Chain A
Amino acid sequence: MDLLRFTTAGSVDDGKSTLIGRLLYDSKSIFEDQLEAVERFSRKRGDERVDLALLTDGLRAEREQGITIDVAYRYFATPRRKFIIADTPGHIQYTRNMVTGASTANLAIILIDARKGVIEQTCRHAFLANLLRIQHVVVAVNKMDLVDFAEARFEEIKESFTNFASRLDNLVEMTFIPISALQGDNVVEKSTHMPWYQGPTLLYHLETVYVGTTENHVEARFPVQWVIRPQSGQWPDFRGFSGRVAGGVFKPGDAVTVLPSGFQSKIKEIHTSDGPLEEAYSPLSVSLLLEDEIDTSRGDMIVKSNNPPQVSQDIEAMICWFGEQPMSPRGRYVLRHTTREVQAVIKEVRYKVNINTLHKIEDDLEFRMNDIGCISVRTSAPVIFDAYAKNRITGSFILIDAGTNETVAAGMIRG
């Protein structure tokens, strides 16, 4: 893969911004004028050394208070790969931000302070990464310089995290790396302080880890975004259903069904401005032309007839609540799923999850900001979906408060 998207999770003071600053700095992704600006600000604030964390703080309030407020995206590239980092803050609205960052990531770095070891928040980070189906986790045991670079301490943390992680069903691969973000040990350069560690540096691991794509190439799914009708003499009968393939592979001649209507047809052509394609697969944006004139519009889904998704007005999902206001019991919300928008009413809260212990909560069912749990909803019109476990695109939705227009929840559909 040419591109790796990862997210970073750590508590306040775990050194997350320093780690990202170090990754950018040591991989020479920082420009001279950026570094000069950071040096100027560090001096002005009276810091003893240049604070690399400042490289990632974009807003004035963040620089002044030394905190991170909102998810920020960072970009860097090495000759091997391009990276997009979703840098999420460790304190207020933590869950909301981490869920947002994790929704587009293939890998999560979980930071642990070597002095503190695996704490509640570590478990929370791992749980959220797993909930969003991030299959690759790097556990970066940071501040090794403050525990005398002791192998025994590293092994102890590794064992206790592994014990906890056995309860996470989506993890495919876990890598433990002892680092000091402040001094640069094992981030980009191999540490001279930990000869007992034979593994890769963090950057080398990120450059080389095999991350199977999160795209689904089995069940063919095509949510229609927009209908292209040029109405010009040159293209008199052109009617293209444009969108981005959300799963599977489409080829001319394939038998397809348009949902929710159920009309059937065949693919006549896969159109792009650069000419027709022989096949289209995720995540390519194309336009499909069908053999028959079928009433199809935005919000419909074109699927291969032999492998249909579920079509239902009843959905059960894990959700994370983002709203300032608690969820209103039996409340009505707008549900946005692929390119479709429907009304939804909360039918039942099944349970909430205590994300520190992973226990179910069944006695307090009010969803407040950052709460996670399982609900069922009834929608005003059918939703065309797969389980989130099968397809991140056709298995996810957001809830919107129709009064404030705010996004109040993220949902992952259960199969």
Chain B
Amino acid sequence: MIKAISNLGSYAIETIEQIGRTFNLLLIIAWKMCLPPYQIFPIIKQIYFIGARSLTVIIISGATIGMVLGLQFYNTLERFGSVGVLGSAVALSIIRELGPVMTALMVVGRAGSAICAELGIMRITEQVDALECMAIPPDKYLVAPKLIAGIVSVPLLNFVFNVVAIGGGYFVGVIMLGVGEGSYVNGMIDSVVWGDVRLGMVKSIIFGMLITLICCAKGFYLHLSQYGSQGAEGVSRATTDAVVISSVSVLFFDFLIGALMS
């Protein structure tokens, strides 16, 4: 019994420490990013890795989710004789909720896990220590470009996801199921307001920062975690944690931002 309480206490302390370290890392990077030298080329490289190389998965998932939404909304709306609002329903669901959330989850799965594993391996193979010893701040050199790239790439990917998903809904609703093109497009234009676009944009910027920060912190501080001494298995467990925590955080913050901005 005492052992169980003790374990729970250790877990709680470690969790609080991790949250503190992650927040601290964000503050350090925010400060160091203001100081020269500016890491322009590494940021472009990371935007290519997180953004451009995620395009395929974003396009495929966007098209699939748009088509599924088109189909499901059509079946539901048909029962109420309201298939004319299909365009509005698809666009609003995607722009306000599904676009930012699905884009973030896709980036977590494709790039977040890779970022965490890369930094974790660099930590256990003393590459991070080597940077320290070369007087190159590893947080600025390794983490900052990834964080900026995440903040830039996720909103752009979200935009692509939204366009493709609305196109997928159009394909199923208008081309396959015969909903009028005018009602789909005009309904969408009439119902989507600037507030919806702004909400989606704010969400995707925050998600971009959140997922890259969590994944970077998990890998970068691997040596301070309970898996720090477990070598390759430690990297694998930290990566799993990073993906799970990032995904859950995205869902939680989705609700929080939605509640605060609606």
Question: Do A and B truly interact?
Answer: no
Query: Which chain B residues have a beta carbon within 8 Å of chain A's beta carbons?
Result: none
